[in-house]
A and B are shown apart, each in its own frame.
Chain A
Amino acid sequence: MTDKDFTFTIDGASVTAQPGQTIMEAADAAGIYIPRLCDHEGLRHQGSCRVCTVKAAGRSVAACTQPAAPGLVVESETPHIQAMRKSLVEMLFHEGNHICPVCEASGNCELQAMAYRLGMVEPTKLPYLEPTRPVDASHPGIALDTNRCISCGRCIRASEDVDHKGVFGYCGRGIHRRITVNGEDLAHTDAAVSDHAISGGVCPVGCIIVKRVGFRLPIGARAFDRQIIGEAIEEKRR
């Protein structure tokens, strides 16, 4: 702890932060997991999915973008906030076409893992929107199944900031905002299998698929078959 470091609390637990850290960064370092979908290690924060919402000094903020502040009182795992997070995740399932049993990402998917963690197991009251969305398999090494895209923008930031390419972008607004590629189709972009944007873990769901490696790790032996999402961070606390 340096003399610039300060403390604040999350659900009553004291957390040390350095100036400039977000609530989530400080929480991660302290072994407190705050659910997230659009935020990804090594990428700039976007603050769009709102699954990381916490109450800071009584106001709802995104923990991935909100700076920590000395003495700040943060609530995270309250029944109200947990229910809201679960609703956000549930709506993402209903907004796209998520048929987990046939999805290559099943077991490695952060959306699905978040549903497990947040207990999305009750009968739904929401309709399935079942949009008609394209699959782009034009590229020799990569397929894009946008039925499963949650518009988190992680591929956009990875392609722009890490690969310096700009293969992906958004089009449309509001619920119609969709991911698109900078070209007629993926084959007409400079996307490469070696891009960071394409690498495992950047796309949280089963939208960006690398061809010819699918199901190499069988269902049942995958990341979130073995561990609940967030447990790796929480282990630091024990």
Chain B
Amino acid sequence: MTAPRKARVATVSLAGCFGCHMALLDIDLRLVELLKHVEFDRSPLNDLKHFTQRCDIGIIEGGCCNEENVHVLQDFRRNCDVLIALGQCAITGGLPAMRNAIMHSDDPLRECLEEAYVLSPYVENATHVIPNDPALPLLLDKVYPCSAVVKIDHQIPGCAPSGDIIYETLVQLLAGKFEGFDPHIVHFD
């Protein structure tokens, strides 16, 4: 008898802080058991940059703040059966989305960049130019949640999500049916 096929999982960090990937480690000892049922495709955890084959689950950290994020997210949708938005940035745009509206400005992106690279008293930028190297991915007008770009199947709330809620979700998905969260473990912070 052959062992049951392992579920293939890909992960990526888009406009996120990597905290959600760190939170994967909060699964702690249960990771050992989990890894018996899971193998990784492209992920920052193994530094694979491209899909090697179709995946069962894609886990997305962060929303979309630039065009590269959009392309990667679309690539994940094409290559994964189930797509999970992990954490508030992926779900709502999160902290990066602060640049969308809370700037008292009609031109919030410009104001954000000027504050970051030109005007702030803490800037050390001798050229006083906003970075414009053609190699940099083009910023979007706003930061978008993943669900505004592709269809998302599940989302795991939190910033970062707790090890418990990530574990619960993965276990339910690996068992073939997701029946929702216990409200006691749902947090948006």
Contact = CB atoms under 8 A, between A and B. Distances in A.
B58 interface: no
A101 interface: yes
A103 B102 CA distance: 13
Contacts of A135: 102, 104
A197 B139 CA distance: 42
Closest 4 CB pairs of A and B: A101-B159, A100-B188, A130-B101, A106-B189
Contacts of B102: 97, 99, 132, 135, 147
Given A99-B94, A130-B101, A119 B181 contact: yes
Interface of B: 85, 88, 91-95, 97-98, 100-106, 142, 145, 147-148, 151-155, 157, 159, 180-181, 183-184, 186-189
Interface of A: 97-103, 106-107, 112, 115-117, 119, 121-125, 127-128, 130-135, 147, 219, 225, 228
A106 B158 CA distance: 11
Given A107-B189, A132-B101, A99 B92 contact: yes
Given A99-B94, A101-B159, A117 B105 contact: no
17 contacts: A99-B98, A99-B102, A100-B159, A101-B159, A102-B95, A107-B187, A115-B188, A117-B183, A119-B183, A121-B180, A123-B85, A124-B145, A127-B148, A132-B101, A133-B101, A147-B102, A225-B187
Contacts of A100: 88, 159, 188-189
B105 A112 contact: no
Contacts of A131: 101
Given A97-B102, A100-B159, A121-B157, A116 B147 contact: no
B94 A123 contact: no
Contacts of A107: 187, 189
